[in-house]
Structure 1
């Protein structure tokens, strides 16, 4: 805080006790009451005036300050009853003015006390956060930002040992270019962190080693003031030396009707700051459409809401019937509550339409994924029931009592299980099983009383694979949708996750693939920022409300905090703000209005082809944009999309085959998923590929036991015994005649090395360099080696060796080895 004059004033006020000011206010109110009674004609105070005097004498200070006589400095009853002359009216106004001044002093005293308590609680809060961070050895993003700010502003400087200038000098040497996106939402703290870097770059502008700053932002899309974003940062940056401004005049997202609507409505709001949007060629191929439907404010929330929601549902069905993809429709609202209410309305009136609320269609909440989860849980509870029943049976045999007690975990709440405790555990396990079974029945559309058990095949392997179990359940339930495939892929990629509970915890925030494609998006305007949709439906069934609830107000001198004020007044007591506080409140009100304009601008500019507004006539969007009922731009578009829905051919996963390939055909187009290949692959080829992959991992990457990686890639095709056999064959190479070569000092081993030979790309299985020597190794998994095949392999290897000799220019120091990976490794040395 740099305004010393204000500080001194506030410090002086801090010495005053609000209770003392209250008594002074009550004293002056009593004096006013006495004055009114003394000037009554004939000494008789009429009942209406007498009631006012009694109120002044018996009320609290807050009640006195809100009294109509004190606020307005006059009262019709008093003027009529007391037959006031000009002098009397002036005296009453003067006494009311004195109380008002005391009211201002009183609110400042209360504010000072609150600030004092706020600072105290802030220190406690900061200390608590530091202890939590220290205990868990973590930092939140906000904590990191504050610590960086402390470094950037010398706040961390202790006894002059730390200087931020040196820190930024070192940092600046590593940075040539800075690009800020969404710059309109930058906070003052963020700006002050980067300001020294900005200054360094701008100071070197025009030099030989010129660096650059690039800012992208739109002040009309600044929505995050509640998170600290300050548009003054955006404006300040525009005024920096050497900064060049360029405005994008053309709109490449929206069609003509939407551009016209936005230009017409927002030019009046933003005045001279608004730059009219021009059409791009793309914008004019079809006109687009804007439709506005307004509703009378009945004063009844339910009536207003049903009217808006009913027409919104009708419009949704029109779009869907026109074959507009659901993922290209979004419903926007100022508040999430409106979206939740509309979602309930849909469930009651058209359950076929699904909403993806603020992209909250989580993977774990989808019915098919829930069904897989409860299949695992039913088996888990069945196993638990069997175990407890077995122990109960054993416990009934007193000769085995000691054995039973020793068998239980020391973590149980009791040192040993009695029959009663086991029976209680059994009861809970049966209840859990019943709940899981009934939940599964509902998800699968079966009878409540159905007890069909879906078994998960037991894996005897010491390497348990959750992915294999999930695959088995999917096949049993015939679940092959995108969400299930996503779940299977995640389980395959994370082999360390061994149970379904851990997997669901891991994917807690993962989005549903289906919901992203087949549900209509519904989100707050803030959530839609940066996105675009073909069709936007905007809902607002409520009348506009004045929402100036900010109580903590900040005053800045440029980008430096000048003072913090707390507005303790209510709407009825606004006259008791001092001038500084009133100015801050007025400034905040203007900023809130600007944020509201920005909110509406972002909502309207999300639309590409169609914008539909369903709103209360007294709503924010209707009043600020001066909308008229049935206001239209453009024409309704008849969508010509193909209405045929592409049907995915469902194939049982175990029958899917990988792409037919050989080692030499290694340049393949990357596929989105390994499981999507449906060209047959021969078993021997899979064995050969997996063997080469094992050698690549062992030799090229030094992975001694690549079981997990091999199982991940080929586990759906090869059982454990085959994988173990492959690894044993691969390991045998280290026990062959190549053992010394593989363990030579200063060896450099490269596997799967590509090179160009006669305009064709070839690939070596392995190339070893030791000093000036090169060793080319070609692995073969052939079991039956004929003379013809050996000659073919030899010629192939010799051609590789010649290429390496040409590249290295050391023909005499190149050796080649054909390695046949049979039960016993056979090695044949080849020379040029």
Structure 2
């Protein structure tokens, strides 16, 4: 609704005084007049009956006319059609009699139209009254909380931008726009087809200033981007007439983009063929870009007979949809490049339930499921905080309760009761109630956490996190502690930790969750298939689009409040009180508005289908009821195809072209000067050119560094993060098995010394070159230098080379430690069976 400042612009539309023809009448009075005329018609029919005898069929009609309510009379077949076969046959009507009956029915119809106007006037009067109450209530709420909603701001800006505030002489909008124009050189509107009339009127003075050249700056411009075929938001106030009006402004130049740069040839052909018939001369045929023709693309249509049974229709469509989804997934099409579209969100929710029952491995990013705060790992972190919060609350209440109970016990022993003791008793009961609630909350949070962690219902795992009283406390540190404790090393948790680190003013988990309420899950964006309404997909593009519609098309003309405009100004508001059976009682103005709204709704439906079909880049699959909207409007045929489906199985782990590999390990030996000055680009470039065996060797060394140097028993997650883009899961598991084999070798006793004596990946300077030891173990005065090798084929020459390398390392350690006689070396070959060779100086 418009704000109070806007009421003047709609007063005429809502004020009953604007309809003087109905002021002296009211619905009840009209109802009585209709019943009186119906009685007169009944009397006439009985009077003209041959021989004064009214046959039963005609008599029943007369009784119905005399005993029915006004609404029932208006819907009677005789009144609607102004004739009745029974009456004609029973009364043997001549031409004059038929004309008289038709005339009397016409009188009742005219009264029906007047009755419709009276009801409408009464409703408008009540609507105007409720509007004023509503606006006053909104104002009080805004004033109380000192806030303005986005819509309220828009209404206030509208009041500034129009003459509304000039009535009292308090504000001059012309001067306001003069000042504003001096600060603005260029205006660009995107998605302009969804602009509302109110938004247009806010900006119209600026448009006029720029177009008239009356501003103080040169080279000003207006730029509008929009497509009338993609206007979907009429239900939010968007009005396509704004788009058309803007195109007619003076000095405006219109340009159209003729080439489609998103979709492949088959999809462009399908869209051209189907929508040219709907939009007629307004449609501009899309041309192919060079990109569109490298792969032909595909459009497949599958239609289903309408059985009249919703469940049968639904299961047929959903079953084939699931089959197509699996074909795409098996071809390793990225899940983020697949979207399921539907006209209604209910259809998507039903398909989601179907998936859970038939293939739970496929996840849909639907509604809240794609939000960061709804991911299991993030929820688990939240409930870790809540369990501690409730535990702390329970301890606090218990301590207070103990003090109160102690005081009451002393008073009981001394038999010294006072009014204060009565208050103590009340306080005790209040604290006991709070304690009960806190314990219930704690139990709920604990059970929720158990479920999220896959624990038993009866498990009571408690995770310690830093206390807020700590000098070094921060929310981010607490989250980091939980992530490490639960080993939640995934992208969503890293995202949560990053947000908490960047927003240090957020001190508790509830505030953080409120802050990230609308943040999307990183994992769901990659690992789930998108499912959204056509409105939600607007502006997006996907490689493969699956469109679902299992329901037959329904005529849905439920618009009751109709608006009449004079250009961009609201002229009147009408309420359609008629039902389908009483459409003949719409007066001309109301009928014209209803017809106009029906055409607009049909155009919106065309636009909805156009947006759905143009989201696809490579493939469009339509699974629909033969009587559905898309099937009837686009004249689809079962098994209709454009192009040819070519699903080439992609390598799911294939690295992208020019992939930059980030490694924490040094890739080559260099001088210290080179080591310090080497650019990152060349360092990464060198890594890119590494052979697969070198990557295996680096990942194996990294595993040993984590296991020996940092005491991490199972470094799978960290290894996957560092090398998962090169190695698949089976390779990573194999590497970890090889690394674990060293603990079962002849070095077992040596490796199980105090872990603090083991240093891994230790760099040192030798003859102006940076060298690196795989592992150095110190046990008192003894040093053990270990060199790991991943070589599979060990020749004598290779063994001599490795021995010489290790001996040079041992000599460097001997020089540094000055204890040559107490240094031992080991070459460890990490094959399926670990081979260890001791080396001496």
TM-score, structure 1 normalization? 0.75
Conserved 8 A contact 2:788-2:827: yes
Most deviating of 816-825 and 661-670:
816-825
1:351-383 Cα offsets, whole Å, 9 max, x none, are 111111147511111111111122222223333
> 1:385/1:93 Cα in 2 relative to 1: closer, same or farther (>3 Å)?
same
CA contact (8 A) 1:262 1:604 kept: yes
Deviation at 1:440, TM superposition (A): 1.5
SS in 2 for 1:412: helix
Q: For 1:677 and 1:449, how far apart are their aligned partners in 2? A: 54
What are the Cα deviations for residues 653-683 of structure 1, in whole angstroms up to 9, with x where unaligned? 9999999999999999999999999999999
User: Could you tell me whether the CA contact under 8 Å between 1:266 and 1:625 is conserved in 2?
Assistant: yes
Assess, with a 3 A threshold, how the Cα gap between structure 1 residues 690 and 162 changes in structure 2: closer, same or farther: farther
Contact 1:309–1:342 under 8 Å retained in 2: yes
Deviation at 1:209, TM superposition (A): 2.0
Q: For 1:61 and 1:592, locate their aligned partners in 2 and report how far apart those are by CA, in whole Å.
A: 32
2:352 counterpart SS class: helix
1:380–1:708: structure 2 CA closer, same or farther, 3 Å change rule? Answer: farther
* 2: CA distance, partners of 1:192 / 1:753: 71
Q: List runs of 5+ in structure 2 lacking aligned partners.
A: 12-20
2:436 aligned with 1:427: yes
Query: For residues 402 and 78 of structure 1, do their structure 2 counterparts lie closer, same or farther at Cα, with a shift above 3 Å needed?
Result: same
Query: 1:508 deviation in Å?
Result: 2.1
Question: C-alpha displacement at 1:148, in angstroms?
Answer: 1.3
The CA deviation at 1:507 is 2.1
Residues of 1 paired with 2:608 and 2:718: CA distance?
Answer: 50
Residues 503 and 411 (structure 1), Cα distance of their counterparts in 2 relative to 1, 3 Å cut: farther
More displaced 10-residue stretch of structure 1: 308-317 or 673-682:
673-682
- Return closer, same or farther for 1:281/1:739 CA change in 2, 3 Å cut-off: closer
- The question of whether the paired residues in 1 share the 8 Å contact of 2:466 and 2:477 is answered with no
C-alpha distance in 2, partners of 1:230/1:730? 67
Taking a change above 3 Å as real, the CA distance of residues 694 and 347 of structure 1, as seen in their structure-2 partners, is closer
SS in 2 for 1:819: strand
Determine the C-alpha separation between the residues in 1 that align with 2:300 and 2:829.
74
Inter-partner Cα distance in structure 2 for 1:735 and 1:388: 54
CA shift, 1:310, in A, is: 0.9
| Distance in 2 between residues matched to 1:128 and 1:664, nearest whole Å | 74
Alpha carbons of structure 1 residues 717 and 384: separation in structure 2 relative to 1, 3 Å: farther
Paired position in structure 1 for 2:201? 192
What's the offset of the Cα at 1:329?
0.8
Say whether the 8 Å CA contact 1:658–1:679 is kept in structure 2: no
Once the two structures are superposed, what CA deviation does each residue of 1:497-530 show, in whole Å capped at 9, x if it has no partner? 2222232232222221111111111111111111
Q: Please say which of residues 253-262 and 155-164 is displaced more in the overlay.
A: 155-164
> For the Cα contact (< 8 Å) 1:535–1:610, is it kept in 2?
yes
Q: In the alignment, is the contact (CA less than 8 A) between 2:306 and 2:627 conserved in 1?
A: yes
The separation in 1 between residues aligned to 2:806 and 2:217, in whole angstroms, is 53
1:44 and 1:705, CA in 2 relative to 1: closer, same or farther beyond 3 A? closer
> CA distance change for structure 1 residues 117 and 746 in 2, over 3 Å: closer, same or farther?
farther
Shift in Å, 1:395: 4.9
> What does the per-residue CA deviation read over 1:578-623, in whole Å, with 9 as the maximum and x for residues that have no partner?
1111111111110110000000000100111111111111100000
2-structure distance, mates of 1:411, 1:782: 85
Structure 1 residues 326 and 579: alpha-carbon distance in aligned structure 2, compared to 1, 3 A threshold: same
CA distance in 1, matches of 2:419, 2:685: 48
User: How far, CA to CA, are the matches of 1:188 and 1:755 in structure 2?
Assistant: 73
Which is further off, 657-666 or 68-77?
657-666
1:182-231 deviation line (CA, Å, top 9, x unaligned): 11111111111111111121112999923211111101001111111111
Question: What's the CA shift string for 1:60-105, capped at 9, x where partnerless?
Answer: 1111000011001111111111111111111111110000001001
Q: Deviations over 1:282-325 (max 9, x none)?
A: 00000111111111111111111111111111111111111111
Tell me how far 1:452 sits from its aligned partner.
2.8
Q: Hey, what does 2:272 align to over in structure 1?
A: 263
The answer to which of 583-592 and 809-818 deviates more is 809-818
SS of residue matched to 1:267? helix
Contact (CA 8 Å) 1:536, 1:606: kept in 2 or not? Answer: yes
Q: Aligned partners of 2:252 and 2:711: how far apart in 1?
A: 53
Match of 2:182 among 173, 187, 195: 173
Task: Check 1:171–1:704 CA distance in 2 against 1; reply closer, same or farther (3 A cut).
Answer: farther
How many residue pairs match? The answer is 832
Helix, strand or coil at the partner of 1:449: coil
1:238 paired residue number: 247
Contact 2:465/2:481, CA 8 A, preserved across alignment: yes
Larger CA deviation: 251-260 vs 383-392: 383-392
Deviations 1:4-56, CA, capped at 9 Å, x for gaps:
99999999213312111111100000010011111111111111111110000
Residue equivalent to 2:649: 640
Task: Provide, for residues 455-480 of structure 1, a one-character-per-residue CA deviation record: whole Å limited to 9, x for no partner.
Answer: 22557632421211111111111101
Worse-matched range after superposition: 521-530 or 390-399: 390-399
Q: Is the 8 A contact 1:474 1:484 kept in 2?
A: yes
Query: Counterparts of 1:264-343 in structure 2 under 5 Å?
Result: 264-343=273-352
Q: In the TM superposition, what is the alpha-carbon distance from 1:649 to its structure 2 partner?
A: 20
CA distance 1:783–1:61, change in 2 (3 Å) = closer
Residues 637, 828 of structure 1: alpha-carbon distance in 2 compared, 3 angstrom cutoff: closer
Deviation per residue, 1:395-418 (Å, 9 max, x gap) = 554599699999999999976666
The equivalences for 1:77-96 within 5 A come to: 77-96=86-105
Q: Evaluate the alpha carbon distance shift between residue 696 and residue 639 of structure 1 in structure 2; reply closer, same or farther with a 3 A threshold.
A: closer
How has the CA–CA distance of structure 1 residues 671 and 323 changed in structure 2, closer, same or farther, with 3 Å as cutoff? farther
Cα deviation, residue 449, structure 1: 2.0
In structure 2, the CA distance between the partners of 1:3 and 1:474, relative to structure 1 (3 Å rule), is closer
Deviations 1:691-720 (A, max 9, x none): 999999999999999999999999999999
C-alpha distance in 2 between matches for 1:703 and 1:409: 64
Give the structure 2 partner of residue 454 of structure 1: 463
Q: Quickly say closer, same or farther: Cα 1:221–1:7, change in 2 above 3 A.
A: closer
Looking at structure 2, the residues matched to 559 and 66 of structure 1 have their Cα atoms a distance apart, in angstroms, of 37
The 1-side partners of 2:68 and 2:665 are apart by 84
C-alpha spacing 1:483/1:8, structure 2 compared with 1 (3 Å): closer
Q: Which secondary structure does the structure 2 equivalent of 1:531 belong to?
A: coil
What is the rounded CA distance, in whole Å, between the counterparts of 1:695 and 1:762 in structure 2? 18
Shift, 1:828, TM fit: 57
Unpaired runs of 5+ residues, structure 1, are none
How far 1:688 sits from its partner (Å)?
35
Structure 1 SS opposite 2:599 = helix
Note the alpha carbon deviations across 1:721-752, whole angstroms, 9 max, x for none.
Answer: 99999999999999999999999999999999
Distance change (3 Å), C-alpha of 1:120 and 1:429:
closer
Measure the CA separation in 2 of the matches of 1:290 and 1:79: 58
C-alpha deviations, 1:416-466, integer Å up to 9, x for none?
Answer: 666555444444333333222222121111222222322225576324212
Q: Closer, same or farther in 2 for the Cα pair 1:801/1:35, shift >3 Å?
A: farther
- Asked if structure 2 preserves the Cα contact closer than 8 Å seen for 1:107 and 1:568, the reply is yes
8 Å contact kept, 1:333–1:524: yes
Please say which of residues 273-282 and 423-432 is displaced more in the overlay: 423-432
Change (3 A) 1:729 1:86: closer
With over 3 angstroms needed to count, the CA separation of the structure-2 counterparts of 1:284 and 1:424, relative to structure 1, is same
2:193–2:226 Cα contact (<8 Å) kept: yes
1:743 aligned onto 2:752: yes
Evaluate the alpha carbon distance shift between residue 58 and residue 641 of structure 1 in structure 2; reply closer, same or farther with a 3 A threshold.
Answer: same
Distance 1:675 1:472, change over 3 A: farther
Q: Cα distance 1:333–1:735, how it changes in 2: closer, same or farther (>3 A)?
A: closer
Structure 1 775/563 Cα, relative in aligned 2: closer, same or farther at 3 Å?
farther
User: Which shows bigger deviation, 316-325 or 152-161?
Assistant: 152-161
> Measured at CA, do residues 52 and 288 of structure 1 come closer, stay the same or move farther in structure 2, by a change above 3 Å?
same
Residues 566/91 of structure 1: CA separation in 2 closer, same or farther (3 Å cut)? same
Is 1:798–1:831's contact at 8 Å kept on the other side of the alignment? yes
Alpha-carbon deviation of 1:555? 1.1
In structure 2, which of residues 664, 669, 683 is the aligned counterpart of residue 655 of structure 1?
A: 664
Give distance in 2, aligned partners of 1:603 and 1:145.
30
TM-score (norm 2): 0.74
CA pair 458-121 structure 1, distance change in 2 beyond 3 A:
closer
